[in-house]
Amino acid sequence: MRHLLLALPFALLPLAVAQAAHDHDHDHHDAHGSLDKHEHGVAALNVALDGQTLELGLESPAMNIVGFEHAANSDAARAKVAAARAQLEQPLALFALPPEAGCTVAGQELESPLFGNDGHDHDHDEHEHSDIDAEYRLTCAQPEQLKTLDLSAFFKQFPGTLKLNVQLIGPNGQKGAELTPANPRLGF
């Protein structure tokens, strides 16, 4: 499931290097010296279409999705995590695709320390910056009908997300876009 999404960062490496140099110049508030990019309100979405397979990979600070990053230590916090997970388990509701494309969910994987399944060892610094990662594999009967990806529902469900940096590889090549609640659509 990850082959296309894993190739995406390498295809966009020149852009990432330029952005990293820019970020390094402006990232003086990280007291922990973390190497990971973690900005509240901002998430990344990688989209790759290969034949009838559409893969989506979301990386977001937990703050954008549930409103906090610490372990869920109350009933209310556990309920928020459970509700967010249930919403993330409905990718066709969050990532609107043209119905005529006939896309169905073929597989998905959600990972986060908040879900208790990320498989990583954590020290105290990492607990302060929890992420939520979601990977989806869709099969589309008519992939040529994939003209747009509409993230209006995603922004509505997760209002803590103010910006989605989207990288797309599709039949027309690769492109990047910055989507916001006011500009939630991307053309293939």
**If you average pLDDT over residues 139-154, what whole number do you get?**
96
Q: Which pLDDT value is given to residue 11?
A: 45
Q: Which pLDDT value is given to residue 24?
A: 35
Instruction: For 86-118, give one letter per residue: b (16+ CB within 10 A) or e.
Output: ebbeebeebbbbbeebbbeeeebebbbbbbeeb
For residue 30, name the pLDDT band (cuts at 50, 70, 90): very low
Q: Which pLDDT value is given to residue 172?
A: 84
Helix axes 3-11 and 13-26, enclosed angle (nearest 10): 70
CA-based max dimension of the chain = 49
- Residue boundaries of the structural domains of the chain: 40-187
pLDDT digits (tens, 9 = 90+) for 66-78: 999 888 889 999 9
**If you average pLDDT over residues 55-70, what whole number do you get?**
95
Q: Which of 44-48, 57-61, 117-121 has the lowest mean pLDDT?
A: 117-121
Q: Which pLDDT value is given to residue 126?
A: 41
**If you average pLDDT over residues 59-68, what whole number do you get?**
95
Q: Which of 32-46, 99-113, 117-131, 152-166 has the lowest mean pLDDT?
A: 117-131
Token pair recorded at residue 65: 């999705």
Instruction: State how far Cα 100 lies from the chain centre.
Output: 24
Using alpha carbons, select from 71, 52, 50, 54 the residue that is nearest to residue 62. Answer: 71
Q: Strands 42-50 and 163-170, how do they pair?
A: parallel
Token pair recorded at residue 151: 């993230």
Q: What rounded mean pLDDT belongs to the chain?
A: 81
Q: Which pLDDT value is given to residue 70?
A: 87
Torsion from C-alpha of 32, 38, 41, 45, nearest 10 degrees: 180
For residue 37, name the pLDDT band (cuts at 50, 70, 90): low
